């Protein structure tokens, strides 16, 4: 770890690389954008100012509506996403020595809790298509 | 040490966890019962919730009865096979000792009163309300038993997340209050997590016992790790400072209490606050003990600021719930005083104050909640203090009980319970050579007398009705004392709190000696 014995100066100086990288990054973006706007010729026409959509002429507005009732599907998706986040690391270790049946059961307890969430949504009529 | 020894299956003592498991399982059961229950039978959910809480309290009694044998530790990291050290030296995540039992019993009993004190025609979705209440309580129960910072953080979030939704049930400004509460809470949690990451970086562990050892090493070596750990410890305390609404982090308190339903405000002011104090006490007394001296100065300043600001602003409050909110801020300042003394033996004074404060504060909230509601003779959302004028005429028993609780909070006879609590805190400050803090506290107790006594006096002010009766024959429709009906359960809550307050006034030893033998 190197935390215990080393003095304060070397500990903090390790972070100076991070700071230098940060400065370098900011400088790179600033210089390249400034150079671009100074060097590039600018002769706009209406066609050139159109939004670029893979070469096809853009259709409609940039502002698209999504019905607010879909937020519940977003919530349900999050339930499954959280599920997966825990399932993948678990799947890599549950068969390893030292884990065994307890680990297997624990995950099913967790999935059981999530199932209650789905049941709640179902009973509240969230899953019926509007 | 191989990986499975570190990360593998830890032995679990299910008896030690019984109160937590019952509460968590009960929360799910209440939610499911609500889904399959007819609407007109939803009052059953209240009794179901109470049954869960009573079952958890019985489990507590079992744990109390055998606590003298040995402290139960569970979720311990198994050591190297062959050289098994005693349990108490292993890093464990969950411990059932005097401290845990006292505060778990406090949280469970307080929640019983919170469930009971719901006003008549309580306009919340019952299933979700009781589910969230029990979920939040689960977090509180785990927090007081936690002995590592990961468990503390998870428990703190389990405690807080349902509380945001509970606040949102308030009818007038619930949504706004919930949003404020949520934003303030996540900001403070972020600061706390940053602090914990610094502590982890400096000590290499998150178990209290190992953080203690790591800080001791860092403090003797000095240099960057010691500075880092100090900054980390201070930032960690910020998270708890928010939960207990200590003064620079108190701004959410009056808004949220006023916006939330009155029982939820009572829950926040007692259970959530007690759990926050438990986390603070555990962190200061167990993990950050090597830094106790410098943290003590910080906590002393925090205590002085908290009680002074709380009391001075409470002087000008016109609404009952807002007054109680500022009063809880001030009371939190008193609880902080023994923690500022850099000897862990003073912790018992803080816990004693918390227990006694819980009874009297819940009592006052219960009366306000019973009086709130809609309809004749009711005060919406707790109402203005003026609405309590002459309450003795309309509800003599409630008025006497409220006056008693207010006197307890002020620390005046016959509410001797509050006096015992304040004396315990004074003693801690004086023995810890914090004379200036004791003086600040004495001045504050005097300031607080004004607003508690003013409210208590208003209850018995019958001048308005007296004048109406003198003009005999005149139809005194408006001024006629309406005997308002209150829910049976709310009256039961007031009665239980009153009985507890009277018992503790005569015999405060269970509260005062609860954790006197704790490290």
Question: What phi and psi, each to the nearest 5 degrees, are found at residue A53?
Answer: -120, 70
CA distances from A13 to A4, A9, A18, B224, B405 (A): 16, 6, 10, 11, 59
Rounded CA separation B329/B494 (Å):
22
Partners of B92 in the β-ladder: B76
CB-based contact, B150 to chain A, within 8 Å: no
The answer to whether position A113 is within a domain reads: yes
Q: Which of B1-10, B60-69, B437-446 has the lowest mean pLDDT?
A: B1-10
The answer to whether position A91 is within a domain reads: yes
Give the pLDDT of residue B88: 53
The answer to whether the CB atoms of A12 and B224 lie below 8 A apart is yes
Cβ pair B239, B188 in contact under 8 A:
yes
CB-based contact, B1 to chain A, within 8 Å: no
Number of domains comprising chain A: 1
CB-based contact, A44 to chain B, within 8 Å: no
Give the pLDDT of residue B379: 67
Q: Residues near B217 by Cβ (< 8 Å), separated by ≥ 6?
A: A4, B203
DSSP state of A3: -
Residue B2 confidence (pLDDT) above 60: no
Residue B464 confidence (pLDDT) above 60: no
- Mean pLDDT in chain B? 86
Rounded CA separation B328/B243 (Å):
12
Q: How far is CA B417 from the centre of its chain?
A: 18
Partners of B438 in the β-ladder: none
CB contacts, 8 Å: B125 with chain A: none
Give the pLDDT of residue A62: 73
CB contacts, 8 Å: A3 with chain B: 201-202, 204, 224-225
The answer to whether the CB atoms of B35 and A99 lie below 8 A apart is no
The answer to whether position A51 is within a domain reads: no
Nearest to A116 among B28, B204, B225 (CB): B28
Cα four-point dihedral sign B422, B136, B133, B30 = negative
Q: What is the CA radius of gyration of chain B?
A: 23
Identify which has the larger pLDDT, B382 or B35: B35
In a 10 Å sphere around its CB, with 0-12 CB exposed, 13-18 middle and 19+ buried, how is residue B427 labelled? middle
Residue B11 confidence (pLDDT) above 50: yes
Q: Which of A45-49, B109-113, B453-457 has the lowest mean pLDDT?
A: A45-49
Nearest to B31 among A5, A11, A120 (CB): A120
Which chain A residue's Cα is nearest to B200?
A: A3
The answer to whether the CB atoms of A11 and B35 lie below 8 A apart is no
Which chain A residue's Cα is nearest to B201?
A: A3
CA distance A103 to chain B (A): 7
Q: Which of residues 67-126 of A touch B (CB under 8 A)?
A: 93, 96-100, 102-103, 113, 116, 119-120, 123-124
Nearest to A7 among B32, B202, B223 (CB): B223
Q: Which domain holds residue A99?
A: 68-123
Complex ipTM: 0.75
Under the banding of pLDDT at 50, 70 and 90, the label for residue B465 is low
pLDDT in tens, A14-59: 888 999 999 999 999 999 999 999 999 888 888 888 887 787 777 7
Give the pLDDT of residue B107: 96
Q: Phi/psi class of residue A55: alpha, beta or left (left: φ > 0; alpha: ψ in -120 to 50)? A: left
Identify which has the larger pLDDT, B165 or B2: B165
pLDDT in tens, B304-356: 999 999 999 999 898 999 999 999 999 999 999 999 987 656 888 999 999 99
The answer to whether the CB atoms of A3 and B31 lie below 8 A apart is no
Under the banding of pLDDT at 50, 70 and 90, the label for residue B377 is low
Domain residue ranges in chain B? 10-76+89-462+483-512
DSSP state of B89: G
Give counts: helices (H), strands (E), chain B. Answer: 22, 2
- Length of chain A, in residues: 130
Count CB atoms within 10 A of the CB of residue B14: 8
The answer to whether position A26 is within a domain reads: no
Partners of B203 in the β-ladder: none
Residue B469 confidence (pLDDT) above 50: no
CB-based contact, B202 to chain A, within 8 Å: yes
CA distance B119 to chain A (A): 26
The answer to whether position A24 is within a domain reads: no
Rounded CA separation A41/A104 (Å):
65
pLDDT in tens, B489-513: 888 999 999 999 999 988 888 888 8
Give the pLDDT of residue B135: 96
In a 10 Å sphere around its CB, with 0-12 CB exposed, 13-18 middle and 19+ buried, how is residue A94 labelled? middle
The answer to whether the CB atoms of B4 and A98 lie below 8 A apart is yes
The answer to whether position A90 is within a domain reads: yes
Q: Which of residues 30-59 of B touch A (CB under 8 A)?
A: 31-32, 35-36
Give the pLDDT of residue B467: 45
The residue-averaged pLDDT of B379-396 equals 79
Rounded CA separation B511/B413 (Å):
18
Residue B239 confidence (pLDDT) above 70: yes
The residue-averaged pLDDT of B248-277 equals 93
The answer to whether the CB atoms of B4 and A96 lie below 8 A apart is yes
Under the banding of pLDDT at 50, 70 and 90, the label for residue B86 is low
CB contacts, 8 Å: B31 with chain A: 116, 120
The answer to whether position A115 is within a domain reads: yes
Identify which has the larger pLDDT, B473 or A73: A73
Cβ pair B358, B110 in contact under 8 A:
yes
The answer to whether position A111 is within a domain reads: yes
Q: Considering only CA atoms, which of B488, B455, B509 is closest in space to residue B320?
A: B455
Residue B141 confidence (pLDDT) above 70: yes
């Amino acid at each position: 770890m190197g935390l215990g014995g080393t003095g304060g100066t070397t500990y903090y100086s390790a972070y100076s690389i991070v700071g230098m990288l940060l400065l370098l990054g900011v400088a790179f973006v600033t210089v390249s954008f400034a150079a671009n706007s100074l060097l590039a010729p600018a002769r706009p026409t209406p066609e050139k100012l159109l939004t670029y959509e893979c070469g096809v002429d853009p259709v409609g507005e940039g502002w698209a509506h999504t019905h607010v009732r879909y937020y519940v599907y977003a919530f349900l998706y999050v339930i499954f996403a959280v599920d997966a986040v825990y399932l993948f690391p678990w799947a890599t270790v549950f068969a390893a020595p030292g884990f065994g049946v307890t680990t297997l059961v624990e995950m099913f307890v967790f999935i059981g809790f999530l199932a209650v969430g789905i049941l709640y949504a179902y009973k509240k009529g969230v899953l019926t298509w509007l | 040490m191989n990986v499975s020894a570190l990360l593998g299956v830890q032995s679990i003592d299910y008896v030690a966890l019984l109160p937590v498991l019952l509460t968590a399982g009960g929360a799910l059961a209440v939610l499911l019962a609500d889904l399959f229950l007819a609407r007109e039978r939803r009052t059953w959910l209240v009794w179901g919730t109470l049954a869960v809480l009573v079952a958890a309290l019985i489990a507590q009694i079992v744990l109390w009865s055998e606590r003298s044998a040995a402290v139960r530790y569970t979720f311990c990291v198994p050591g190297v096979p062959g050289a098994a050290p005693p349990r108490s030296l292993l890093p464990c995540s969950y411990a059932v000792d005097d401290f845990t039992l006292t505060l778990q019993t406090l949280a469970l009993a307080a929640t019983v009163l919170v469930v009971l004190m719901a006003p008549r025609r309580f306009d919340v979705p019952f299933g979700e309300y009781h589910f969230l209440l029990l979920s939040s309580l689960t977090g509180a129960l785990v927090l007081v038993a936690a002995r590592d910072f990961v468990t503390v953080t998870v428990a703190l979030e389990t405690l807080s997340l349902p509380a945001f939704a509970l606040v949102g049930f308030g009818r007038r400004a619930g949504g706004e209050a919930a949003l404020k509460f949520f934003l303030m809470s996540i900001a403070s949690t972020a600061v706390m997590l940053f602090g914990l990451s610094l502590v982890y970086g400096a000590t290499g562990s998150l178990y209290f016992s190992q953080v203690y050892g790591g800080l001791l090493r860092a403090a003797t070596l000095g240099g960057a790790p010691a500075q880092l750990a100090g900054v980390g410890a201070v930032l960690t305390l910020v998270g708890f400072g928010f939960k207990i609404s200590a003064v620079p982090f108190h701004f959410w308190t009056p808004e949220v209490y006023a916006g939330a339903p009155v029982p939820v405000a009572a829950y926040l002011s007692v259970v959530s606050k007690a759990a926050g104090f438990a986390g603070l006490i555990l962190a200061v007394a167990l993990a950050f003990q090597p830094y106790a001296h410098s943290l003590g100065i910080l906590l002393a300043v925090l205590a002085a600021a908290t009680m002074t600001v709380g009391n001075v602003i409470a002087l000008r409050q016109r609404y009952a719930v807002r007054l109680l909110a500022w009063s809880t801020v001030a009371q939190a300042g008193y609880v902080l005083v023994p923690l500022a003394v850099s000897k862990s033996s003073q912790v018992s004074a803080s816990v004693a104050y918390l227990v006694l404060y819980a009874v009297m504060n819940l009592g006052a909230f219960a009366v306000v909640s019973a009086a709130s509601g809609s309809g004749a003779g009711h005060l919406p959302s707790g109402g203005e203090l003026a609405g309590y004028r002459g309450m003795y005429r309309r509800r003599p028993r409630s008025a006497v009980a409220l006056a008693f609780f207010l006197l307890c909070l002020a620390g005046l006879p016959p509410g001797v319970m509050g006096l015992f609590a304040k004396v315990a805190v004074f003693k801690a400050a004086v023995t810890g050579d914090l004379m200036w803090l004791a003086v600040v506290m004495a001045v504050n107790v005097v300031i607080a007398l004004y607003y508690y006594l003013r409210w208590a006096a208003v209850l018995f002010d019958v001048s308005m009705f007296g004048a109406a009766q003198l003009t005999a024959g005149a139809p005194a429709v408006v001024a006629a004392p309406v005997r308002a009906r209150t829910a049976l359960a709310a009256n039961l809550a007031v009665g239980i709190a009153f009985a507890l307050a009277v018992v503790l006034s005569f015999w405060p030893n269970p509260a005062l000696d609860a954790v006197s033998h704790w490290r």
